[in-house]
């Protein structure tokens, strides 16, 4: 089955979900999307599994009213042209609001559900912004999920960015290889190889949270990428009830490292409205993450970083006190911030 057919043949409503799983589920205000091929895997793993908890709607999405609409300040740093400019040298580029699956814990779930201004399309304006800010040397495709775009569309954006001399690095953040491995076809490999040739470095950052996501089919798809010379990194979100144990994380990171994926980021859960049932304190997270240093070599250990609520960017999550001076939290420029 082609990835486009898999994508079209997805569960999109509560009725679809209830028919497929033969159970009832809470109705939430958030959209729902699970390709049936992936829903089959969820069904096999069952209701207490990490797969189920990440993608099946939960009562708390409706009942728990705490959390922030935009926990990491995308809107504050949005330039209104699909660019989010938070750090001096790099921008996030959001070419789509579409994802291969809708993750119940997503920190961008409110923005995506509302199709917020962060996703306003104005590509000419985005290119003008990059021309006017030549200190920006990296574009990070995020979303939504950029690998859900057609090869032609993706290649077009890549070509456009390559025409800007200031852009040296290009990065793609994606959950697609885990959810729709059939997307890693020859056409996509050709696009990613051409990106490698057009920029000084080009990287794919896959989003993966639990070893159960790395079945034989997914490992095969990732091998297609690494065999083609694509640099593959990973990012993981620490989620209560899903992967909140040292052993689970150690297994995930060592398996990723064994298939030539560099574990790059581990994020504490964000305080996202509608996803607070996945939230855990920094202190609880530290107790889980610190022992990883005893179990894994540095090259298999991701950086454990937290996005400061409000949009001030990432700081080390194991020791955020290193950013506290005289009782005040400071940002990367050394300026005091309110959280
Ligand atoms: S694929 Fe990424 S952007 Fe899309 S819902 Fe999941 S976490 Fe959010």
Q: How far is CA 336 from CA 105, 270, 323, 325, in A?
A: 29, 21, 10, 9
- Counting beta carbons within 10 angstroms of the beta carbon of residue 29, is it exposed (0 to 12), middle (13 to 18) or buried (19 or more)? exposed
Q: How far is CA 302 from CA 94, 104, 287, in A?
A: 24, 23, 16
3-class SS at 297? coil
Per-residue pLDDT tens over the stretch 208-263: 999 999 999 999 999 999 999 999 999 999 999 999 999 999 999 999 999 999 99
Distance 330 CA to ligand 1 centre (A): 29
Q: What is the pTM of this model?
A: 0.92
Distance 286 CA to ligand 1 centre (A): 24
Per-residue pLDDT tens over the stretch 75-98: 888 888 899 998 999 999 999 999
Q: How many angstroms separate the CA atoms of 90 and 142, rounded?
A: 13
Span 38-61, average pLDDT: 97
User: What is the atom index within ligand 1 of the atom nearest the CA of 143?
Assistant: 3
* Beta carbons of 143 and 127 less than 8 angstroms apart: no
Pocket test for ligand 1, best of 51, 108, 177 (most atoms within 8 A of CB): 108
Distance 295 CA to ligand 1 centre (A): 29
What is the pLDDT at residue 333?
60
- Residue 8's contacts (CB-CB under 8 Å, 6 or more residues apart) are none
| Residue that is written with structure tokens 């049932």 in the block | 277
Say which range, 107-111, 124-128, 232-236, has the weakest mean pLDDT. 107-111
Q: How many angstroms separate the CA atoms of 157 and 160, rounded?
A: 5
What is the pLDDT at residue 118?
67
Closest C-alpha to ligand 1, atom 7: 106
Distance 14 CA to ligand 1 centre (A): 19
Q: How many angstroms separate the CA atoms of 72 and 186, rounded?
A: 35
What is the pLDDT at residue 324?
64
Domains along the chain with CATH numbers: 64-329 (3.20.20.70)
Ligand 1 lining (C-beta closer than 6 Å)? 99, 102-103, 106, 108, 143-145, 175, 207
Per-residue pLDDT tens over the stretch 308-325: 877 778 888 887 666 666
- Residue 63's contacts (CB-CB under 8 Å, 6 or more residues apart) are none
Helices and strands (H and E) in the chain: how many: 15, 13
Distance 103 CA to ligand 1 centre (A): 5
3-class SS at 99? coil
């Amino acid at each position: 089955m082609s990835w486009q057919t898999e994508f079209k043949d997805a569960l999109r409503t509560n009725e679809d979900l209830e028919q497929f799983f033969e159970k009832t589920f809470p109705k939430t205000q958030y959209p729902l999307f699970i390709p049936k091929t992936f829903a089959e895997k969820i069904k096999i793993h069952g209701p207490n599994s990490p797969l189920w908890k990440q993608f099946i709607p939960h009562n708390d999405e409706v009942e728990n009213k705490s959390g922030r609409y935009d926990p990491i300040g995308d809107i504050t740093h949005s330039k209104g042209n699909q660019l989010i400019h938070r750090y001096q040298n790099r921008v996030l580029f959001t070419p789509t609001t579409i994802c291969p699956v809708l993750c119940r814990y997503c920190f961008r779930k409110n923005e995506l559900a509302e199709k917020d201004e962060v996703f306003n399309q104005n590509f000419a304006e985005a290119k003008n912004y990059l021309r006017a800010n030549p200190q920006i040397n990296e574009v990070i495709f995020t979303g939504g999920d950029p690998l859900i775009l057609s090869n032609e569309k993706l290649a077009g954006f890549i070509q456009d960015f390559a025409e800007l001399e200031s852009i040296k690095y290009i990065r793609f953040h994606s959950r697609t290889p885990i959810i729709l491995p059939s997307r890693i076809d020859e056409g996509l490999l050709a696009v990613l190889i051409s990106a490698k040739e057009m920029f000084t470095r080009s990287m794919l950052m896959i989003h993966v949270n639990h070893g159960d996501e790395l079945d034989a089919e997914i490992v095969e798809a990732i091998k297609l990428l690494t065999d083609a010379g694509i640099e593959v990194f990973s990012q993981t979100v620490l989620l209560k009830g899903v992967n909140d144990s040292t052993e689970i994380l150690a297994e995930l990171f060592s398996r990723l490292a064994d298939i030539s994926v560099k574990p790059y980021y581990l994020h504490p859960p964000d305080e996202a409205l509608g996803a607070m049932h996945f939230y855990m304190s920094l202190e609880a997270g530290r107790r889980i993450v610190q022992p990883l240093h005893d179990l894994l070599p540095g090259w298999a250990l991701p950086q454990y970083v937290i996005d400061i609520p409000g949009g001030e960017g990432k700081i080390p999550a194991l020791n955020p006190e290193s950013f506290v001076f005289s009782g005040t939290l400071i940002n990367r420029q050394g300026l005091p911030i309110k959280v």
